[in-house]
């Protein structure tokens, strides 16, 4: 599917992987709705992109707010054809530690944002896409999710995060099968260690050491590389029902 002339929704699009994705899709000619909780950053990015870009304040777990963002994207020229969900949070805590068992409320919150929030964006965007006229290949849209290699290589203390990201991997194929008859594809990207705000708080030495542990290239991934894969997935109709690792051949050790 061509990107130019289409409308795209990027949930969690105000920073990091989402912001890079919004920039890439916009540069390739899409109208982009940036949905995020951070209104300051989201509005600034939309303003920097200019024409064909807008911001919608939305919590990924709030159905009404996400629906409003979907409606805004569906009302743009070309109709909503591309949806990318990058929203997510992290947390580090062992199943049992010196303080006792893992905080159940925290575990629930991570799953609520990462897994249920992703599905919320997917179900609402896909519903809007089914109203599109199919293109020459019968395609009405594509929904992209963001998991993590922690879904496969979860480290000590990542039980909540890994469970939430593993759930995204698990729903990808059945969702693609659910939507196949409607001409909507579903694909998940599982990034490795990327230079995003989640790692920005670490000292430079520690960030460099993390990058050196990646087989090749031995550096942190760049958000633009994630965005490049998004563009390729949109363009290639045979990419469907799959989770793609984007990690430089990294396999995370236990700790």
Residue 217: cis peptide before it, omega within 30 degrees of 0: yes
Q: Which of 91, 161, 194, 226 is catalytic?
A: 161
Tokens of 188: 């998940």
Q: Report CA 1 to chain centroid distance, whole Å.
A: 19
- Quickly list H helices, the chain: 16-27, 39-49, 63-74, 104-111, 117-129, 150-153, 159-180, 197-200, 204-212, 223-235
> Does the active-site annotation cover 161?
yes
Q: How far apart are CA 62 and CA 64, in angstroms?
A: 6
Question: Cβ distance 186 to 143 under 8 Å?
Answer: yes
Q: Which residue has the tokens 């430079």?
A: 204
- What residues are labeled active site? 161
């Amino acid at each position: 599917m061509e990107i130019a002339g289409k409308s795209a929704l990027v949930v969690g699009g105000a920073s990091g992987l989402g912001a890079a994705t919004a920039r890439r899709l916009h540069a390739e000619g899409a109208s982009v709705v940036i949905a995020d909780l951070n209104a300051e950053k989201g509005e600034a990015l939309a303003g920097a992109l200019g024409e064909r870009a807008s911001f919608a304040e939305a919590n990924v777990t709030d159905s009404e707010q996400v629906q409003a963002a979907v409606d805004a994207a569906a009302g743009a020229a070309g109709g909503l054809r591309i949806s990318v969900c990058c929203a997510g949070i992290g947390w580090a805590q062992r199943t049992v530690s010196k303080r006792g068992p893992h905080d159940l409320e925290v575990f629930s919150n991570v799953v609520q944002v990462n897994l249920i929030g992703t599905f919320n964006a997917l179900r609402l965007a896909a519903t809007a896409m089914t109203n599109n006229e199919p293109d020459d290949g019968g395609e009405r849209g594509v929904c992209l999710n963001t998991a993590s290699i922690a879904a496969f290589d979860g480290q000590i203390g990542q039980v909540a995060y890994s469970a939430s990201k593993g759930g995204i991997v698990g729903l990808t194929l059945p969702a693609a099968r659910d939507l196949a008859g409607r001409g909507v594809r579903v694909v998940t990207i599982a990034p490795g260690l990327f230079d995003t705000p989640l790692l920005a708080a670490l000292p430079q030495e520690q960030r460099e050491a993390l990058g050196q542990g990646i087989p090749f290239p031995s550096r942190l991934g760049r958000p633009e590389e994630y965005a490049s894969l998004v563009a390729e997935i949109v363009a290639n109709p045979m990419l469907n029902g799959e989770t793609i690792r984007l990690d430089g051949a990294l396999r995370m050790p236990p700790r």
